[in-house]
A and B are shown apart, each in its own frame.
Chain A
């Protein structure tokens, strides 16, 4: 298939600095979405488990909506449409810098729908008697969740959360549609500039593979240790 194609990797060494910066952006987006996803996802999960029906319905609607829509589309909405709406509503000057921030927010909102489901399962894995015992000691619902239920839930969830974080890191490659110079976007740009797209995309793929495979091995090791502890 590649019989007539001559590989030329020479544009990579010179672009290492640029690619490295791209990788940093990818890791930053991952970290940000991870934190936002866990915080917002925890609130969504608690809302979904709430006995206040409208709250539970709203959270379920949110989770189902974001899980039923492709990530690329969400990113484009938040890159193209949401900033326009904000401009109109808030009277911002057009072309202001909200597009990238908006795409990042869209990304975090999308990922938190997945985190919400993991966290909901984690909360449900804590025996009901724990909440009853916390209540019996006079703790309010927020106190009981914060000090008793959530710490145990997160402990049970750590492997799943880390696995989801690896998926999240891979998902960040899709933000290239919003012109954010993440790792994949940077590789694409270099390849496009030098006419060496095949090499650069292969190289980017190899780096994603190495990082994600190493991380998932790490999770597996951690999981084993958790089970024996």
Chain B
């Protein structure tokens, strides 16, 4: 579904990604973790072309992301993305947030888009909030709406960029529950997250990054039981202490 092949990226002299290669199979859930500044968010943003990269290639469902002739809008329409800061459109109701891209990008008619939007809003347990504005919802609720907004586009895979990092602790689980459910239904997912509990429960594979490199790429069992690199061992020791 997603193949990342020797991707490198730099800002001027600053190397952000170095020779990153991995893949995500259909129906697979891959968690990307690592210390801050390790390039994990940049890598996931390269997958749908929000961040350009200089070397290597990324293919999503056979389409090359970096190729100049690729219609990125068309590709992104079917690759869902969820951001750290939700990025709901604050000047629109939840209903309109769910409908906008369906109408403008997928050219669905208004009723069909509304119906689809409400179906997914119901799925994330927020049916009663359709008429509200994003500012009236809690962070956890906003993030669930953001997930519903992405799902309403019928994505072939979902990218999550630290979806719970900006949330108060008591709201993290409601978002992780939605993600877990999604994973159990067989959605292909690539998740940048520090939630190691989620990774243990849900992920098939774990990628560990440090200084722009993929240091570990293994099944979750192998990763948690026996991380090979010293950096990953330190990271796990710190993060799992609590």
Contacts and interface: CB of A to CB of B under 8 A. Distances in A.
Interface of A: 127, 129-130, 132-140, 143, 147-148, 151-152, 155
Contacts of A133: 81, 83, 87-89
B27 to A, nearest CB: 22
B95 to A, nearest CB: 15
Contact of A137 (B77, B85, B90, B91): B77
Interface of B: 48, 50, 72-81, 83, 85, 87-91, 100-101, 104-106, 149-150, 153
A143 B73 CA distance: 11
B101 A139 contact: yes
A129 B73 CA distance: 16
Most chain B Cβ neighbours within 10 Å, of A127, A143, A147: A147
6 contacts: A132-B83, A136-B79, A138-B105, A139-B101, A147-B100, A147-B104
Nearest to B103: A147
A133 B79 CA distance: 12
Given A137-B105, A137-B149, A143-B105, A148 B76 contact: no
Nearest to B87: A133
Most chain A Cβ neighbours within 10 Å, of B50, B78, B80: B50
A140 to B, nearest CB: 5
Nearest to B84: A129
Contact of A135 (B50, B100, B106, B153): B50
A136 B90 contact: no
Given A143-B104, A147-B100, A137 B76 contact: yes
Contacts of B87: 127, 129-130, 132-133
Contacts of A129: 83, 85, 87
Given A136-B50, A140-B73, 18 more contacts: A132-B87, A133-B83, A133-B88, A135-B50, A136-B48, A136-B80, A136-B83, A137-B76, A137-B150, A138-B73, A138-B75, A138-B78, A138-B106, A139-B73, A143-B105, A147-B100, A151-B91, A152-B89
B76 A138 contact: yes
A139 B104 contact: yes
B79 to A, nearest CB: 8
A155 B73 contact: no
A142 to B, nearest CB: 10
Given A129-B85, A132-B50, A138 B101 contact: yes
Nearest to B51: A132
A155 B133 CA distance: 15
Contacts of B153: 137-138
A132 B74 CA distance: 15
Task: Name the 10 nearest CB pairs between A and B, nearest first.
Answer: A138-B77, A133-B87, A137-B101, A136-B81, A138-B105, A138-B76, A129-B87, A138-B73, A151-B91, A140-B73
Given A136-B76, A137-B153, A130 B50 contact: no
A16 to B, nearest CB: 44
A184 B115 CA distance: 58
B91 A138 contact: no
Contacts of A136: 48, 50, 76, 79-81, 83, 150
A143 B102 CA distance: 12
Most chain B Cβ neighbours within 10 Å, of A130, A138, A143: A138
A48 to B, nearest CB: 22
Contacts of A135: 50, 72-73, 76
Given A129-B83, A143-B104, A138 B74 contact: yes
Contacts of B72: 135
Nearest to A141: B73
A213 to B, nearest CB: 31
